[in-house]
Amino acid sequence: MSTVLDTPPQPPAPADHDLAALAARHGLTVSGARPSLPEYVRRLWARRHFITAFATAKLTAQYSQAKLGQVWQVMTPLLNAAVYYFIFGVLLGTKHGVPDYIPFLVTGVFIWTFTQSSIMAGTRAISGNLGLVRALHFPRAALPISFCLQQLQQLLFSMAALIVILLCFGVPVSASWLLAFPALVLQFTFNAGVSMIMARWGAKTPDIAQLMPFILRTWMYVSGVMWSLDKLAKNDHLPHIVKVALAANPAAVYIDLMRFALIDSFHAGQLPHHVWPLAVGWALVAGVGGFIYFWKAEETYGRG
């Protein structure tokens, strides 16, 4: 003889919308949900001291294992400039017809290195710091911005060496040097925007960091780092659209602006047409667009 036990009926499981309403009624929110854009900007501004401290700490630790320490912040771009001078200036003869070629080259190398290093660091900003991203809650845009700030700090160290080089090669101090400050602000904004775009891509596809050196090397060669883009205007073999595209290249725009600011033999006629609107436009497109593009994926970083 078997005994059948009656099981009391179970209440129906609450629907998802009922749970959402209950959570909202008690002030609960989704963990890791993306805030609104104004709120995100506010939170990022509140973390500005963290961004600055993080950038400074990374810069200090970068060469901590080397015997020369922070001296490498200046030596690395100078050695790169020396190699480029030998290969391009001497062997390939790109220095011919370019006044003050060594200041011209060193300025190009330093300004290009700022963009290159910012983008490479931004590409790994999320994928290379997953422990920090998963352990702490903060606006993730703080990471690519802090890496760009680190590269700006390194550039400022290098600029001290650049000024010595300019003076040693007879380039006089002039009021135009003040133009370097707005040019650097615009370049930093551009670099930060591109870095945030690459940070989102790199977070989803880490292998992109292996591809970036080849893309950046190609970009460097078409940006007039080691040779003068002004000579292209006299080249009848290149289509006009190619000349315009090379002149409007954002890396070339910021390099030429800095050369114009610092080197008196680099005159306004060598600058692209409407160079300041171009510089501002690239900074706004990359800076604002890159920030919004990065923010839209805020809740995905560190997951998966």
- 187 three-class SS: helix
CB contact at 8 A, 247 and 217: no
Phi and psi angles of residue 141, each rounded to the nearest 5 degrees, phi first: -65, -20
The reply to whether 156 falls in a domain is yes
Inside any domain, residue 7? no
- Looking at residue 263, the DSSP 8-state letter turns out to be -
With 0-12 CB in 10 A as exposed, 13-18 as middle and 19+ as buried, what is 265?
Answer: middle
257 in any annotated domain: yes
Q: ∠ CA 217-261-243 to the nearest 5 degrees?
A: 45
> Would 8 be classed as within a structural domain?
no
Residue 20 covered by a domain: no
Residue 69 lies in a domain: yes
User: What's the rounded Cα separation, in Å, for the pair 28 and 302?
Assistant: 22
Residue 243 placed within a domain: yes
Domain containing residue 67 = 35-300
Count of domains in the chain?
A: 1
Q: Would 130 be classed as within a structural domain?
A: yes
> CA quadruple 116, 122, 125, 128: dihedral positive or negative?
negative
pLDDT of residue 32: 58
Question: What is the value of pTM for the model shown?
Answer: 0.85
Could you give the C-alpha distances from 198 to 130, 134, 180, 283, 293, in angstroms and in order?
16, 19, 26, 16, 10
SS3 93: coil
Q: What is the pLDDT along the chain (304 residues), one digit of tens a residue?
A: 445 555 555 555 555 555 556 555 655 545 557 899 999 999 999 999 999 999 988 887 876 666 666 677 777 778 888 888 888 878 878 788 788 899 999 999 999 999 999 999 999 999 999 888 888 888 999 999 999 999 999 898 888 888 988 998 888 999 999 999 999 999 999 999 999 999 999 999 888 999 999 999 999 999 988 888 877 766 667 788 888 888 899 999 999 999 999 999 898 888 888 899 999 999 999 999 999 999 999 999 987 5
pLDDT at 269: 83
Dihedral sign of CA atoms 152, 155, 159, 162 in order: negative
